[in-house]
Amino acid sequence: MKNLLFLLCITTASVFAQQPVEVVQAQLDAYNKQDINAFAAVFAPDAKLYLNIGDSIPTISGREEIRRRYGEMFEANPNNKSTLIGRMIQGNFVFDHEWITGRNEPLKIMAIYEVVNGLIVRAWFPR
């Protein structure tokens, strides 16, 4: 009976595991609320963020650096918001086309997120 209950719990947990698109949407929602703790929580502890596809050295490494750098950006730009223009999903990758406002100049970016086990492990932000 215990084995059956254990199997049921594991099966139920995997059914309710967050899909990559849900993780990325939670990240976008936290970004727009400027909730730095919720924002940082969706990144893996060793997440790597890159400016361009093909970069071998990340611009930001690790959840704590993400928390620090984005926290500073949120503080400096209290009206910062990202509007989703379009989204595509391919396996565990989510591709967002975003319109960023509330900074010195509005800008369009492409954000590519790789999600593994419910956390963003890598992201690229080519402009």
Give how many domains the chain has, as a whole number.
Answer: 1
Residue 12's pLDDT band (cuts 50, 70, 90): very low
In a domain? residue 9: no
- 86 in a domain, yes or no? yes
Asked if the model's pLDDT at residue 74 lies above 80, the reply is: yes
> Is 5 a domain residue?
no
Tokens of 47: 């997440």
Mean of the pLDDT values across residues 120-127? 93
Over the chain, what is the mean pLDDT?
A: 90
Look at residue 7 and tell me if it is in a domain.
Answer: no
Output the domain CATH number for residue 36: 3.10.450.50
Residue at token pair 């086309």: 97
Domain with 96, as residue range(s), is 15-124
The predicted structure's pLDDT at residue 89: 98
- pLDDT tens digits for range 43-52: 999 999 999 9
Q: Are 82 and 98 in contact (CB under 8 A)?
A: yes
In this prediction, residue 127 carries a pLDDT of 74
In a domain? residue 43: yes
| Residue 10 pLDDT > 80 | no
